[in-house]
Amino acid sequence: MNHISRADMRLLHILYLKVDNQNLLEQLQYSDWELNSGGIITIGEIHEFLSNMRIKCEREKEGNYESPVGSRMRENHIPPYFELFTNEYFESLEKDDPIVIPWEDRLSSLYYQFAMKCKNRFIASWFELNLNIQNIFTALTCRKFGLDRTKYIVGDTELSNMLRFSTERDFDIDDSFQYGHSVLRIAEDADLLQREWKIDQLKWEWLDEQTFVKVFDIESVLAYMLKLEILERWARLDKATGENLFRQFVGAMKRGSGHTLEEFNRNNKK
């Protein structure tokens, strides 16, 4: 973090928002909430944000629509979709509406939409990939159990709409959707752990493809962090698998570093 620009730091923060989403949701739902480490939003910022949102809701009930949040949100790390989500959450409590989509999924959907609007192509594409994978699995689950797909597919992308309404076995997914057919094949595996493993392998391959020619760019830093998250998750799930993955990762890093230095030296000699 001491070696990247402010603009690059903002890109890194987008990845950390996953933890902040969890903190916001747990603060709303549980009285004994404790801050999950790894996010960028402090406990004080979350408390101040929610206090302002409650004041905003009270003013709106009284017919005064002036928001106490507004510019204050831009002064700290609170992303704009937090306000939209919290509004929906408070309104649901007021109306006592039954929940169709779990709140965690709704917050994730807003998070993906926010990240996919990022001007950095790597960030936008990474979140689109994850949204597509999640939606394909959701569509298959809905088909299996006879559920209404339109209520569970999230996002407003071309693929999301195809998954909602297509009657074809493969949901009309064609080659324009990278990895779409690969995800469908992975979903056929009855072993849940193997499915998770194969999806993470697919993501790892995607990260390698995206950073192959960007060794000295911020994208490689972001990919490095995302790969470490994958390793950390598997280390928790399966120690032996996690250690093996780590060895593979270090080996790939060494090979990549050697290739990069050779190329760098060749270019300098020119």
Asked whether the predicted pLDDT for residue 230 surpasses 50, the reply is yes
- pLDDT digits over 103-149, tens only? 888 899 899 999 999 999 999 999 999 999 999 999 998 898 888 89
- pLDDT digits over 2-11, tens only? 888 999 999 9
What is the number of domains present in the chain? 3
Radius of gyration of the chain (CA): 21
Residues 222 and 15 sit within 8 Å (Cβ to Cβ): yes
Residue 180 located in a structural domain = yes
3 and 110 belong to one structural domain = yes
- pLDDT digits over 136-188, tens only? 999 998 898 888 898 889 888 889 999 999 989 899 898 778 788 999 999 99
7 and 112 belong to one structural domain = yes
Residue 201 located in a structural domain = no
Asked whether the predicted pLDDT for residue 44 surpasses 50, the reply is yes
- pLDDT digits over 194-216, tens only? 898 899 999 999 999 999 877 78
Which helix (H) or strand (E) segment is 216 a member of? none
Q: What is the rounded average pLDDT for all residues in the chain? A: 83
Residues 226 and 16 sit within 8 Å (Cβ to Cβ): no
Using CA atoms, how far residue 198 sits from 80, 125, 145, 174, 226, in Å, is: 34, 19, 24, 20, 16
113 and 163 belong to one structural domain = no
pTM, 2 dp: 0.81
User: Can you give the residue range of the structural domain that contains 141?
Assistant: 118-188
**Tokens at 144, concatenated:** 């299996």
pLDDT, residue 97, reads 63
Asked whether the predicted pLDDT for residue 245 surpasses 80, the reply is no
Which contacts of 193-197 are long-range, i.e. CB under 8 A and separated by 24 or more positions? Answer: 193/237, 193/238, 196/237, 197/234, 197/241
110 and 152 belong to one structural domain = no
49 and 85 belong to one structural domain = yes
Q: What are phi and psi of 16, to 5 degrees?
A: -70, -20
Residue 194 located in a structural domain = no
92 and 12 belong to one structural domain = yes
DSSP single-letter state for residue 32:
T
112 and 6 belong to one structural domain = yes
**What are the start-end ranges of the H helices in the chain?**
6-29, 43-61, 70-75, 80-95, 103-116, 121-145, 158-165, 180-187, 192-211, 218-237, 239-269
